[in-house]
Amino acid sequence: MIVVALEKDWEIKECSYRERRELQKLNTKTFWGKEQDPNDVYTLLDRVEEMSGISEEELSKLSMSDVDTLLYAILSEYLGISNLE
């Protein structure tokens, strides 16, 4: 599976239905209540990183904000919301 982010094509692992449900659950938790909980956000992004198969070596070449941008792009692809109009 290819995700385009940060002006690059990133090869990521496919994820199963069960994994997508897990991500949806984690994503929903980040918005529960009036404010986002940073701990929940990073739990979600860490799980996306694990599922994606992108190596630490590749990620270490990016700034932390670019890592987050990439992981959000991957999350959107996994949840099927990247191309919604």
Q: Is residue 85 part of a domain?
A: no
DSSP 9: E
Domain count, the chain: 1
Identify the pLDDT of residue 72.
95
What's the domain range around 16? Answer: 2-79
Report the 10 Å Cβ neighbour count for 62. Answer: 15
Q: What is the pLDDT of residue 85?
A: 46
- Residue 53 DSSP code: -
- Which residues does residue 4 pair with via DSSP β-bridges, in sequence order? 9
Reading the chain (85 residues) residue by residue, the pLDDT tens digits are 999 999 999 999 999 999 999 999 999 888 777 778 888 999 999 999 999 999 999 999 999 999 999 999 999 999 998 655 4
pLDDT given for residue 15 in this prediction = 94
- pLDDT value, residue 1: 92
40, 29 contact by CB (below 8 A)? yes
| 19 domain residue, yes or no | yes
Does residue 60 form part of some domain? Answer: yes
